[in-house]
Amino acid sequence: MKYIKCILILILLNISIFSKAQFVNGFSAEEATDMMALNNSFTFIKVFNTDTAIVPKSYERIYRSGVFGLDNQYQIWRNNNFAVISFRGSTAKQESWLENLYSAMIPAVGKVILPGSETVDYKFASDTAAHVHAGWTLGLLFMVNDLVYHINNLNHQGIYNIIFTGHSQGGALAHLARAYFENLPKGRISSKNRFKTYAFASPMPGNKVFANEYNKRFAFKNTSYNIVNPKDIVPRMPITLYNGKVFDPEQIGNLLMNSSFSNATGIIASRLVSKWFVKDPNAYYIKKAGIEVEEQVEKKIGKIVMPKYCSDQSYSPLENRMFLGPFKDVLRQLKADSVNIDSLKSIPFYGNNMTIQTGSFAQHKPFNYYLYMLKEYYPDKYVATRKHYRIID
């Protein structure tokens, strides 16, 4: 009898331990916070040369891709019975920003011919009026064959529960990846796969028709979440049309006042503002954010053949938006540091800590999204993390 009781206790303990790492339906604070930690891996590797301080202990990196096309990269993590595919956000390289600026829309169903004459078919929605961002579509299509291979490999290991996640540009790629894999022809990946999405600070990947279909299939069924800081300008990007006639003045004003955007972005924004009222704003948008950017893209990566640009250039946000912030503690820290900077220089890694926390783009930085996930859901860990990274009230 004692032997049987011991066995039962062990089984219950194993079930309890195992359940903590289960892939769950609906929103999970633990799951979402872990996703934001994993998205910070790219930043931590760049700044600290290691991501061990930010990656949750229960996750094992099983793949880190090479760099594709427009400086895109992704990682695959495993946690017991599910996997996570995390897309890197924008980098400082010009091709990464060209991907963002390449914002003329193309049909949500079509094909792209990549450099080297590789043809990649894609489908992000069933409705023929759905349109998507040309640059992020192009960025994703460089990666999809590699992604298909690794998803099939996960399936061979018995893993069918997969989360797509990313911050900023990576968030847009996560949304598009979800739509792409949910619309793949039968046979390319297993029908057993179950997907979920956590996107952070994601800009808008498509028009209202695309958003409506995505929301109906995923967001409204609580398998896709869009987490944004209301003071972060990126979720209100790309520059879009207001009522289909003129460019949204609030959006452009915010963009021009934000010094963190690249010179190339500022130039394009200035051109759009200078042509605020034009005879055909859609055609002007296609020329500046489509044809001209495509020419610059080809100089970087080689000849591509894209679908015809759509006349509709009105972007729409995806739903299941969860608001986080604004990041007030960071702003208080900036003010305090401006007075105490000399005394702070002696702190080990202080400069690195400032890199991941502060600057003119502080309301968008991935570490601050992670920090405020802790503040929202794990106050004790938030306080400890603030002390570790010298965040001052």
pLDDT at 228: 96
Calpha distance 316→359 (Å, rounded): 28
User: Which of 323, 353, 378 is the C-terminal boundary of a domain?
Assistant: 323
Residues 227 and 341 in one domain: no
Residues 124 and 270 in one domain: yes
pLDDT at 19: 37
Helix axes 169-182, 134-141, angle to 10 degrees: 70
Q: Could you tell me if 123 and 180 are in contact, meaning their C-beta atoms sit under 8 angstroms apart?
A: yes
φ, ψ at 85 (rounded to 5°): -110, 115
Is residue 222 domain-resident?
A: yes
Among 91, 98, 100, 63, which residue's Cα sits nearest to residue 78? 63
User: Which of 288, 323, 358 is the C-terminal boundary of a domain?
Assistant: 323
Q: What token pair was written down for 103?
A: 């914002």
Bridge partner list, 315: 207
Enumerate the H helices of the chain as residue ranges: 2-19, 29-39, 41-48, 94-101, 134-141, 144-156, 169-182, 208-217, 249-257, 263-274, 281-286, 292-301, 328-344, 350-357, 366-377, 379-388
Helix (H) or strand (E) holding 122: strand 118-123
Residues 204 and 137 in one domain: yes
Calpha distance 213→25 (Å, rounded): 20
Among 136, 112, 280, 284, which residue's Cα sits nearest to residue 210? 136
Is residue 344 domain-resident?
A: yes
Look at the chain and report how many structural domains it folds into. Answer: 2
pTM equals 0.85
Residues 272 and 127 in one domain: yes
- The pLDDT tens digits of the residues spanning 15-32 come to 333 334 566 779 999 999
Residues 315 and 354 in one domain: no
Is residue 78 domain-resident?
A: yes
Residues 297 and 381 in one domain: no
Q: Could you tell me if 223 and 196 are in contact, meaning their C-beta atoms sit under 8 angstroms apart?
A: yes
Calpha distance 356→260 (Å, rounded): 14
- Integer-rounded Cα Rg, in Å, for the chain is 22
Is residue 23 domain-resident?
A: no
Residues 149 and 287 in one domain: yes
Residues 112 and 182 in one domain: yes
Among 382, 387, 374, which residue's Cα sits nearest to residue 34? 374
Residues 93 and 137 in one domain: yes
Is residue 102 domain-resident?
A: yes
Residues 318 and 355 in one domain: no
Is residue 171 domain-resident?
A: yes
> DSSP for 140-161?
HHTTHHHHHHHHHHHHHTT--E
pLDDT at 364: 92
Bridge partner list, 152: none
Strand bridging mode 105-107 / 194-200: unpaired
Residue ranges making up the domain that contains 375: 328-388
User: Which of 285, 305, 323 is the C-terminal boundary of a domain?
Assistant: 323
Amino acid at 392: I
Is residue 13 domain-resident?
A: no
Write out residues in the chain with pLDDT < 70, as ranges. Answer: 1-23, 241-278, 330-354, 389-393
Is residue 54 domain-resident?
A: no
